[in-house]
Amino acid sequence: MMRPFLELIDFEEAKKIIMEKTEPMEKREKIDILSAIGRVISEDVISDINIPGFARAAVDGYAVIAEDTYGANQREPRELKVIGKIFAGDTSKIRINRGECIQIATGGAIPDGADAVVMVEHTSLDDDTVRIMKPVYPGENVSSEDEDIAKGGVVLREGDVLNPAKIGVLAALGINSIDVYALPKVAVIPTGDELVPIGGKLEYGKIYDINSYTLASLLQGSADVHINEIIEDSEDKIKECIKSLKDMDYIIFSGGSSVGERDILIDIIEEEGEVFFHGIALKPGKPTIFGKIRNTLIFGMPGYPTSCLTNAYTLLLPSVKKKARMPYIEKKKEVILAEKIVSTIGRHQIYTVEVEDGKAYPVFKESGAITSMSEASGYIEIPANVEYLPAGSKILVKYF
């Protein structure tokens, strides 16, 4: 027989419970830096060398003894003898004495005896003699050996998210692998006898599996996602599936979370673990389950594609980000509502919109229409006590 939802939990309370039950990853792994973009460092990185490791020219010009340039100007330049050239990467060591200089390229190692570099723009070269027309002080246009990174310094900290610049720091230190927090392991389980795998024969009354691909795509980069084969709505099959995935951090079922005769996931979670809530005062997305079996968090998502994906954006993704120790950043912007929206009293509503020229246009169709999401720029949230939003209202759009 069909069982009604005994109690619908408030949307904000559902979010709170999910985040309270989500514990950040402790497991760590070492990975190649080329695979590390977006990953979270699991321990401080301390430099064991100075970078660049030698004093180098910050500009093209001439390495000089600064005192030899004092008093130089356009009318009375100081003349120095050029005794050589240094380019970036040169390993030859030339020493200069008073009255001498060396032509040097940006990045070249400062020769022994020199303590400054005169910019080429302030010089004039005649054979092996250069005229200096502007004085420099000691250290001018010279980068010290620890200008970028000092030996013994903390250059990256535990919890930092690796971006291209931070990976560049690792490369500068000669580090080609880095310790990071492991990604949470997520299994996406499509359920329902109406589902057909992509590539299968689509018979009357059947639909292709959509939710596995939207969920897996949403979580890419934040989790190690595995899509399971479609399983039938049977107690034995679902129990067997959960047992085989005991090492997962999350098991996400799509379908099987409502109150129909064949929706049995709630019974299995109650028997094997703990149900934190079943049913949210939310549209779309009311038939949502959240629970735990042993160390695995269980989400029972609605089967309809729009309900499933909106709940994944608002409830699942923040949890997975927290689990992965990654920042969860919402892009928001206030715009003008172009058309009136009629809401549902008593349920918090997630309503998809398309934003064009600073105006939001409703695109929500119904929970089963994936185009309610594909045609949307983002969504707005309409509180449970709001009956409608008039055209011209200022609304906050949360972008996908």
Q: Can you give the CATH number for the domain in which 346 is found?
A: 2.40.340.10
Backbone angles phi, psi at 204, to 5 degrees: -60, 135
Tokens of 60: 């093209």
Can you give the pLDDT of all 400 residues of the chain as single tens digits? Answer: 445 555 799 999 999 999 999 999 999 999 999 999 999 999 999 999 999 999 999 999 999 999 999 999 999 999 999 999 999 999 878 899 999 999 999 999 999 999 999 999 999 999 999 999 999 999 999 999 999 999 999 999 999 999 999 999 999 999 999 999 999 999 999 998 889 999 999 999 899 999 999 999 999 999 999 999 999 888 899 999 999 999 999 999 997 555 453 468 899 999 999 999 999 999 999 999 999 999 999 999 998 999 999 999 999 999 999 999 999 999 999 999 999 999 888 999 999 999 999 999 999 988 888 898 999 999 999 999 999 999 999 999 999 9
Any domain includes 4: no
Q: Which residue among 266, 300, 323 closes a domain?
A: 323
Total tally of structural domains belonging to the chain: 4
Tokens of 95: 């020493």
Using CA atoms, how far apart are residues 275 and 289, in angstroms rounded to an integer? 8
- Structure-token match 């010279």, residue found: 142
**Statement to judge: residues 174 and 187 lie in one domain:** no
Any domain includes 149: no
Strands (E), 228-358: 250-254, 274-278, 282-283, 289-293, 296-301, 332-337, 341-342, 348-356
Any domain includes 374: yes
Backbone angles phi, psi at 268, to 5 degrees: -65, -45
**Statement to judge: residues 175 and 222 lie in one domain:** no
**Statement to judge: residues 187 and 318 lie in one domain:** yes
Question: Residues in the chain, how many?
Answer: 400
Using CA atoms, how far apart are residues 397 and 313, in angstroms rounded to an integer? 14
Tokens of 270: 């109650």
User: For residue 46, what are the CA distances in angstroms to 50, 155, 163, 178, 312?
Assistant: 11, 6, 18, 12, 38
Is the Cβ–Cβ distance between 273 and 298 less than 8 Å? yes
Any domain includes 6: no
Q: Residue 137 contacts by C-beta under 8 Å, 6 or more apart in sequence?
A: 66, 116
User: Does residue 110 sit in helix, strand or coil?
Assistant: coil
**Statement to judge: residues 222 and 315 lie in one domain:** yes
**Statement to judge: residues 317 and 217 lie in one domain:** yes
**Statement to judge: residues 237 and 264 lie in one domain:** yes
Residue 61 belongs to domain spanning: 56-143
**Statement to judge: residues 311 and 191 lie in one domain:** yes
Any domain includes 366: yes
Using CA atoms, how far apart are residues 168 and 157, in angstroms rounded to an integer? 15
**Statement to judge: residues 177 and 188 lie in one domain:** no
Tokens of 32: 């190649």
Using CA atoms, how far apart are residues 101 and 131, in angstroms rounded to an integer? 11
Any domain includes 33: yes
Q: Which residue among 85, 117, 143 closes a domain?
A: 143
Torsion of CA 39, 45, 49, 50, to 10 degrees: 80
User: For residue 356, what are the CA distances in angstroms to 308, 310, 389, 393?
Assistant: 26, 21, 18, 15
Any domain includes 196: yes
**How far separated are the first and last CA of the chain, in Å rounded?**
39
Any domain includes 150: no
CATH number of 171's domain:
3.90.105.10
Using CA atoms, how far apart are residues 7 and 18, in angstroms rounded to an integer? 17
Q: Residue 129 contacts by C-beta under 8 Å, 6 or more apart in sequence?
A: 79, 80, 81, 82
Is the Cβ–Cβ distance between 229 and 237 less than 8 Å? no
